[in-house]
Chain A
Amino acid sequence: MSEHPVQHPAAHHEPVDHADQHGEQVRTLWVIYFWLMGLLVLTVVTAHWLNLGWFNIVIALAIAVTKAAMVVWIFMHVKYSGKLVWVFATAAFVWLGIMLIFTIADYSSRDRIPRGDQANTIPSEVRSADEGVQAELHP
């Protein structure tokens, strides 16, 4: 089939409220692309020629989050999609955040648990239950 630049009833079907976005959308895509490339250069420069210690990883991650947000928001059309798509896209990253935050909270707080005799840190009811199980398994 040859090209049909105009007039395809029902072939192309942008929802009504995005009707006039297409003309300037190409320009938006290029602008986002140059921002992404600029941020790539920035992240390499800050990582290699700036020595800010632990702050380097904060900058690198901030740049990565910015780049990802640009791709998701514009390239992946979340900006132009319905609320339900927005909710699904957000939910994915919220749950990832929950996993990361809870795991980091766990590992970073383990030192605060009093050390010492290993057995004493286990609550007595748990220990006695475990002893009961052990007695059943290995009579």
Chain B
Amino acid sequence: MTDASITAGGAEPQPSDHATPPMDSPAGHHAPGRPRHLAMHFDNIDQQRESMTLGMWTFLATEVMFFGGLFTALTVYRSLYHEAFRAGSEELKWYLGAINTAVLLTSSLTVALAVHDSVEGKQSSLIRNLAITAVLGSVFLVIKGYEYFIDYREGLVPVLAWHPEKPLADPMHTQLYMVIYFSMTGLHATHMVIGLGLFLWLLHRARRGDFTGPNGNNTAVEVVGLYWHFVDVVWIFLFPLLYLIR
């Protein structure tokens, strides 16, 4: 069973790590018997992996707060101007939002499979899943861009193009809704663009064998994967709150 051999190898970091602190060695973390990808300030690879995971989660906690402010604004204004927000929500194309949710959920699956491949050392499957993720991320952005174009054409963009065809009972606060809509989806799309760049970088490194080779270290795949799943979680809340308010 391949799992067993891999984990057995992995669960046993270089035995001499504790005996000789890396700082003593003139060659630093490239000392013989020490994996190249183990940074000098870590005792072993498990410690390094857990620190990186924790660091990513710390960043994601700040991201929760970042988006949280906007979610709070949406909640408050939605309760204050419910009818105006409902009118704005009805102008959006809910089916495009639903398709995009499906695209993003599928990309989350391919990321999870890619992380699994990187742990198992399956290079070709890893490359395929990373590539599918990048394609799905692009599809999301294209659909989102098309949606923005429709909003522009229908005069639903405050300041730039505001001339809704349907008469609105409270146009001022429907504009407020559209501002929150563009802020939240725009911030989310920015995260998608950054994520897309990260996946192209991972793809390049995966092709080079950085994650699956004999000296491979898959931590980068795991950490970027966490980021992508988080962006997915944000959209999981954005979709019902923005598109399905009735």
Residues of A within 8 A of B (CB): 1-16, 18-20, 22-23, 25-26, 29-30, 32-33, 36-37, 40, 43-44, 47-48, 51, 56-57, 60-61, 63-64, 67-68, 71-72, 74-77, 81-82, 84-85, 88-89, 91-93, 95-96, 99-100, 103-104, 107-108
Q: Do B237 and A3 touch (CB < 8 A)?
A: no
Residue of B nearest to A30 (CB): B109
Expressed in whole angstroms, the Cα–Cα distance for A116 and B4 within the complex equals 75
Expressed in whole angstroms, the Cα–Cα distance for A137 and B9 within the complex equals 73
Known: A19-B3, A47-B246. A8 touches B9 (CB 8 A): yes
Query: Which one of A47, A61, A72, A107 lies within 8 Å of B80 (CB-CB)?
Result: A107
Q: Do A26 and B113 touch (CB < 8 A)?
A: yes
Q: Do A7 and B9 touch (CB < 8 A)?
A: yes
Q: Do B214 and A4 touch (CB < 8 A)?
A: yes
Q: Do A43 and B212 touch (CB < 8 A)?
A: no
Q: Does B111 contact A (CB under 8 A)?
A: yes
Q: Does B60 contact A (CB under 8 A)?
A: yes
Expressed in whole angstroms, the Cα–Cα distance for A6 and B237 within the complex equals 40
Query: Which one of B10, B98, B246 lies within 8 Å of A40 (CB-CB)?
Result: B98
Q: Do A33 and B105 touch (CB < 8 A)?
A: yes
Q: Do A89 and B57 touch (CB < 8 A)?
A: yes
Per DSSP, chain B at the interface is: helix
Expressed in whole angstroms, the Cα–Cα distance for A23 and B6 within the complex equals 12
Q: Do A13 and B11 touch (CB < 8 A)?
A: yes
Expressed in whole angstroms, the Cα–Cα distance for A107 and B79 within the complex equals 9
Residues of B within 8 A of A (CB): 1-7, 9-14, 35, 45-46, 49-50, 53-54, 57-58, 60-61, 64-65, 68-69, 71-72, 75-76, 79-80, 94, 98, 101-102, 105-106, 108-109, 111-113, 115-116, 119-124, 208-209, 212-218, 222, 225-226, 229-230, 232-233, 236-237, 239-241, 244-246
Q: Do B5 and A6 touch (CB < 8 A)?
A: yes
Residues of the B chain whose Cβ atoms lie less than 8 Å from the Cβ of A20? 3-4
Q: Do B50 and A82 touch (CB < 8 A)?
A: yes
Expressed in whole angstroms, the Cα–Cα distance for A5 and B209 within the complex equals 12
Q: Do A47 and B72 touch (CB < 8 A)?
A: no
B124 CB to nearest A CB, Å: 6
Q: What are 28 inter-chain pairs, A to B, with CB distance below 8 A?
A: A1-B209, A4-B121, A4-B213, A6-B121, A7-B6, A8-B9, A8-B216, A10-B12, A10-B45, A12-B10, A13-B11, A13-B45, A15-B46, A20-B4, A22-B7, A37-B105, A40-B98, A56-B246, A60-B241, A71-B233, A75-B109, A75-B112, A88-B54, A96-B68, A99-B68, A100-B72, A107-B79, A108-B79
Residues of the B chain whose Cβ atoms lie less than 8 Å from the Cβ of A37? 102, 105
Q: Do B108 and A75 touch (CB < 8 A)?
A: yes
Residue of B nearest to A57 (CB): B245
Residues of the B chain whose Cβ atoms lie less than 8 Å from the Cβ of A107? 76, 79-80
Q: Do A72 and B233 touch (CB < 8 A)?
A: yes
Query: Which one of B11, B35, B115, B229 lies within 8 Å of A15 (CB-CB)?
Result: B11
Query: Which one of B2, B58, B208 lies within 8 Å of A1 (CB-CB)?
Result: B208
**A3-B124, A4-B121, A8-B213 provided; 5 other pairs, C-beta below 8 A?**
A4-B214, A16-B7, A20-B3, A29-B113, A71-B229
Q: Do B105 and A12 touch (CB < 8 A)?
A: no
Residues of the B chain whose Cβ atoms lie less than 8 Å from the Cβ of A22? 3, 7, 116, 119-120
